[in-house]
């Protein structure tokens, strides 16, 4: 078999003694293999050369980069799609499909999947005749395009339903979730699951057997034809799945419904026609605002992943040693959640609490949280036993003497925290990073008793810790770059999304959240129904309304946070008399069964049964004069004060970049990602329109007055997200 006379940058060509060709993929200048234009072009050229003869017995595609088959297309190039006409985008999809079609045109082909096989990477694998995956934990298969507001554009909606059926294909592609190799085998996405060392040999044997038995020809014929789907089954699938999707997305995300429609329409025709339907659907979604915003959010997340926290990427960050022996002080709700996150991430952990009963009670909860299986929606008992050996508990601070990263998470009382932090500093070595989990206490105040405040910062986790990905890394006046970089790196090792914030009352998230909650309370006092306020917020895309959120946070917690913020920003966040009155009446929210609403049931079965009568009486006691209010006015009143506070934060240097604000509100507050974040939503309105909407609200006080930054943007037309 002659050699291929080409200089290749992304592919290496190996040949087996029995006539198989192995294409080894390693895309340079990328952390994972991605389908760059060069990688696709070289694959096409090599396949053409091989097809020119003499033909190999089969072609095996595998990765030369451990842990990564292909992690999809080069996402950075997707940003340019929005500026291209739909016909051009559809043509780009068709070109990619034409390259992949070569994998099932002549010689038999197999994909050896070891590592991430996502998006276009999975579409490449689906284009092969057979797929062999490895059972390694890093081997994951998925079509995550829906999370970018798109659908698979290189044959995924064509081949997958012909391989596993339209129903399972819709569920797989519309969820955007990844599956492991065993699940992919059960679904029929891969043909075998074998250890990595035997994968290439197994792929060769599997191809040889399929050729001998005529399976390759039969597969290709079946995958080219229409899917035999009973009309009644199709109608049922379409109706029920569409209803579920609308319930989950509120109609704000068009991609899931487009996936359903494209798969059903494509299944009814031959594969060639289905491919054209897919390209057209992809082009339509690529031009949609949700896709642009979701792509922006993804790119912000990628920026955060590379950011060291001190103004540069990981390569320019201060040199730090990753923590290997962390400790958590305090076994309360937050301390237990933080401890569970460490165990889940593979850390050995020391947990300290002076209260033996609290410590003993926390351990089962920690192990349950750390071993939680999201797919099964329950904890994994075997995993809990396995990780229990990594948890060490103690009642004396002397147990942290050898730790290199400490997270203090005791009660929010500043005097208690200061005392504990001083004791921690006396116990640990000079290089140990000391952090505090606090949502309200100024870092400068807590650092006052430390002899070396440069190694101290805030590390604000959100509750529940397992579900909430954002962590605020709060830089105090004396905090060093090394400490910030160490805290950021540690949060990332926990699987969290850290945002660096300068010390300020409420930090970033609570400072932006409080105007939203405060305005909801003012609307209640004006006679607007709680259910209506919450409905309008959910219609905007928030996961829950502000009144529901009050009850979930706990009105006592909101009261104490409100005191801090009111003291700092009282001209625009005045303390409401409603919240302390409800706290005094024992109406604390869900945890007491009543707050603004009354609740029945518990856990997953907890339900709102109506407005609490006591709350209604308190609101009436502090009523404001009624105002003319429509749903858009409610939306403006809830969200524009958040934006104004964010703009003030930018003016004060609260964060290093406005993108951190958008990332934070999405991850911590559930601000709708399809709107791109708070600043991106403001750009969708335009600064001049925002100023116009604020004019009739000016009589409400400073909280509705435009900032100088807003007025400057309105005058210049500059976007907030430039």
- Report d(CA 87, CA 32) in Å as an integer: 30
**Would you state the pLDDT for residue 205?**
94
Confidence of residue 186 (pLDDT cuts 50, 70, 90): very high
Distances (CA, A) of 469 to 466, 472, 485, 510, 669: 8, 10, 18, 15, 11
Backbone angles phi and psi of 137, in degrees to 5: -60, -30
A 10 A CB-CB count for 638 gives 23
Distances (CA, A) of 416 to 330, 422, 449, 561: 12, 10, 12, 17
Could you give the count of Cα atoms lying within 13 Å of 647 in the half-sphere of its Cβ? Answer: 26
Confidence of residue 67 (pLDDT cuts 50, 70, 90): confident
- Report d(CA 135, CA 118) in Å as an integer: 16
Backbone angles phi and psi of 201, in degrees to 5: -60, -40
* 303 secondary structure, DSSP code: H
**Would you state the pLDDT for residue 6?**
65
- Lookup: tokens for 529: 């129904």
Q: 3-class SS at 642?
A: helix
Whether 315 shows a pLDDT value over 60: the answer reads no
**Would you state the pLDDT for residue 2?**
46
Task: State the sign of the Cα–Cα–Cα–Cα dihedral 64, 66, 67, 71.
Answer: negative
pLDDT per position as a tens digit, 651-695: 999 999 999 999 999 999 999 999 999 999 999 999 999 999 999
- Report d(CA 588, CA 558) in Å as an integer: 9
Q: How confident is the model over 84-109, as a mean pLDDT?
A: 92
Confidence of residue 462 (pLDDT cuts 50, 70, 90): very high
pLDDT per position as a tens digit, 475-512: 999 999 999 999 999 999 999 999 999 999 999 999 99
Backbone angles phi and psi of 430, in degrees to 5: -70, -20
**Would you state the pLDDT for residue 584?**
94
Name the H helices within 229-348: 231-249, 254-267, 271-286, 289-306, 333-344
- Report d(CA 231, CA 267) in Å as an integer: 12
- Report d(CA 543, CA 539) in Å as an integer: 9
**Would you state the pLDDT for residue 84?**
84
> Beta-strand (E) ranges in 587-639?
597-600, 607-611
Closest by Cα among 288, 279, 229 to 254:
288
User: Which residues share a beta bridge with 133?
Assistant: 113, 193
- Report d(CA 386, CA 367) in Å as an integer: 10
More confidently predicted of 376 and 237 = 237
Whether 1 shows a pLDDT value over 50: the answer reads no
CA-atom Rg of the chain in angstroms: 28
Lookup result for tokens 């994972």: 32
The most distant pair of C-alpha atoms in the chain lies apart, rounded to whole Å, by 90
- Lookup: tokens for 260: 């359903």
* C-beta of residue 555 within 8 angstroms of C-beta of residue 615: no
**Would you state the pLDDT for residue 85?**
87
Q: Is 460 labeled as catalytic in the residue annotation?
A: yes
Beta strands 116-118 and 20-25 are unpaired
Could you give the count of Cα atoms lying within 13 Å of 183 in the half-sphere of its Cβ? Answer: 13
Closest by Cα among 321, 324, 366 to 343:
366
pLDDT per position as a tens digit, 551-606: 999 999 899 888 888 888 878 888 889 999 999 999 999 989 999 999 988 766 78
**Would you state the pLDDT for residue 604?**
63
- Lookup: tokens for 610: 């109506």
- Report d(CA 587, CA 579) in Å as an integer: 9
- Report d(CA 694, CA 704) in Å as an integer: 6
Burial of 162 (0-12, 13-18, 19+ CB in 10 A): buried
* C-beta of residue 408 within 8 angstroms of C-beta of residue 424: yes
pLDDT per position as a tens digit, 278-295: 999 999 999 899 999 999
pLDDT per position as a tens digit, 393-406: 999 999 999 999 99
Tell me the pLDDT of the chain averaged across its residues.
92
Q: Which of 460, 490, 667, 713 is catalytic?
A: 460
- Lookup: tokens for 334: 């937050």
* C-beta of residue 418 within 8 angstroms of C-beta of residue 434: no
Whether 423 shows a pLDDT value over 90: the answer reads yes
Which are the contacts of 266, defined by CB distance < 8 A and separation ≥ 6?
Answer: 157, 158, 161, 273, 274, 275, 277, 278
Terminal alpha carbon distance of the chain: 55
Which are the contacts of 119, defined by CB distance < 8 A and separation ≥ 6?
Answer: 71, 72, 73, 142, 143, 144, 145, 152
pLDDT per position as a tens digit, 118-127: 999 999 999 9
Domains in the chain, start-ordered, CATH in brackets?
11-287 (3.90.226.10), 320-503 (3.40.50.720), 510-716 (1.10.1040.50)
* 375 secondary structure, DSSP code: T
- Report d(CA 173, CA 97) in Å as an integer: 18
Whether 271 shows a pLDDT value over 90: the answer reads yes
- Report d(CA 578, CA 151) in Å as an integer: 47
- Report d(CA 498, CA 460) in Å as an integer: 9
pLDDT per position as a tens digit, 13-61: 999 989 999 999 999 988 889 999 999 999 999 999 999 988 999 999 9
Q: Is 558 left (phi over 0), alpha (psi -120 to 50) or beta?
A: alpha
* 50 secondary structure, DSSP code: H
* 581 secondary structure, DSSP code: H
Closest by Cα among 446, 445, 395 to 417:
446
């Amino acid at each position: 078999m002659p050699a291929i006379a080409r200089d290749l940058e992304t592919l290496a060509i190996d040949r087996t003694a029995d006539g198989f060709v192995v294409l080894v993929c390693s895309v340079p200048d990328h952390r994972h293999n991605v389908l760059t234009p060069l990688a696709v072009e070289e694959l096409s050229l090599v396949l053409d050369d091989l097809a020119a003869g003499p033909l190999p017995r089969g072609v095996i595609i595998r990765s030369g980069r451990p842990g990564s088959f292909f992690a999809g297309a080069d996402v950075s190039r997707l940003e340019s799609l929005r500026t291209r006409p739909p016909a051009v985008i559809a043509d780009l999809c068709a070109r990619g499909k034409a390259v992949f079609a070569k994998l099932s045109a002549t010689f038999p082909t197999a994909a050896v999947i070891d590592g991430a096989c996502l998006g276009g990477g999975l579409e490449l694998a689906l284009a092969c005749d057979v797929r062999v995956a490895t059972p390694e934990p890093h081997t994951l298969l998925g079509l995550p395009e829906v999370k970018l507001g798109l659908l698979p554009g290189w044959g995924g909606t064509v081949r997958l339903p012909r391989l596993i059926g339209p129903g399972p294909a819709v569920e797989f592609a519309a969820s955007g979730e990844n599956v492991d190799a065993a699940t992919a085998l059960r679904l029929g996405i891969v043909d075998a699951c074998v250890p990595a060392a035997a994968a290439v040999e197994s792929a060769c044997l599997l191809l040889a057997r399929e050729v001998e038995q005529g399976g390759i020809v039969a597969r290709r014929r079946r995958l080219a034809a229409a899917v035999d789907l009973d009309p009644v089954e199709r109608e049922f699938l379409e109706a029920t799945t569409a209803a579920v999707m609308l319930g989950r997305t509120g109609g704000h995300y068009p991609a899931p419904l487009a996936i359903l429609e494209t798969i059903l329409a494509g299944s009814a025709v031959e594969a060639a026609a289905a491919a054209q339907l897919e390209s057209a659907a992809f082009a339509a979604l690529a031009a949609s605002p949700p896709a642009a915003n979701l792509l922006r959010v993804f790119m912000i997340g990628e920026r955060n992943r590379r950011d060291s926290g001190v103004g540069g990427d990981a390569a320019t960050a201060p040199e730090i040693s990753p923590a290997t022996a962390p400790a958590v002080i305090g076994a309360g709700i937050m301390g237990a959640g933080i401890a569970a996150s460490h165990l889940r991430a593979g850390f050995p952990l020391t947990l300290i609490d002076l209260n033996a009963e609290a410590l003993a009670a926390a351990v089962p909860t920690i192990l349950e949280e750390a071993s939680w299986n999201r797919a099964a929606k329950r904890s994994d008992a075997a995993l809990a036993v396995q990780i229990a050996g990594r948890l060490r508990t103690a009642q004396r601070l002397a147990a942290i003497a050898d730790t290199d990263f400490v997270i203090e998470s005791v009660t929010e009382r500043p005097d208690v925290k200061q005392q504990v932090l001083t004791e921690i500093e006396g116990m640990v070595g000079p290089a140990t990073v000391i952090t505090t989990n606090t949502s309200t206490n100024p870092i400068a105040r807590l650092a006052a008793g430390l002899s070396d405040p440069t190694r101290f910062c805030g590390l604000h986790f959100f509750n529940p810790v397992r579900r909430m990905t954002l962590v605020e890394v709060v830089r105090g006046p004396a905090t060093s770059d090394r400490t910030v970089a160490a805290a950021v790196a540690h949060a990332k090792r926990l699987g969290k999304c850290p945002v660096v914030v300068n010390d300020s009352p409420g930090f970033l998230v609570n400072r932006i959240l409080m105007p939203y909650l405060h305005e909801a309370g003012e609307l209640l006092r004006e006679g607007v129904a709680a259910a209506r306020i919450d409905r309008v917020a959910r219609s905007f895309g928030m996961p829950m309304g502000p009144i529901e959120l009050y009850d979930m946070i706990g009105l006592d917690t909101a009261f104490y946070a409100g005191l801090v913020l009111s003291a700092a920003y009282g001209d625009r966040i005045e303390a409401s008399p409603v919240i302390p009155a409800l706290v005094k009446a024992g109406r604390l929210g869900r945890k007491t069964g009543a707050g603004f609403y009354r609740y029945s049931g518990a856990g997953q079965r907890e339900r709102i049964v109506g407005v609490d009568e006591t709350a209604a009486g308190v609101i009436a006691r502090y009523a404001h004069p009624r105002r003319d209010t429509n749903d858009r006015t409610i939306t403006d009143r809830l969200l524009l004060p958040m934006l104004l506070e964010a703009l003030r934060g930018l003016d004060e240097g609260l964060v290093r970049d406005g993108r951190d604000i958008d990332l934070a509100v999405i991850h911590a507050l559930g601000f709708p990602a399809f709107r791109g974040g708070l600043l991106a939503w403001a750009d969708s309105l335009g600064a001049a329109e925002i100023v116009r909407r604020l004019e009739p609200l000016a009589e409400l006080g400073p909280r509705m007055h435009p900032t100088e930054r807003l007025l400057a943007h309105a005058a210049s037309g500059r976007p907030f997200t430039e």
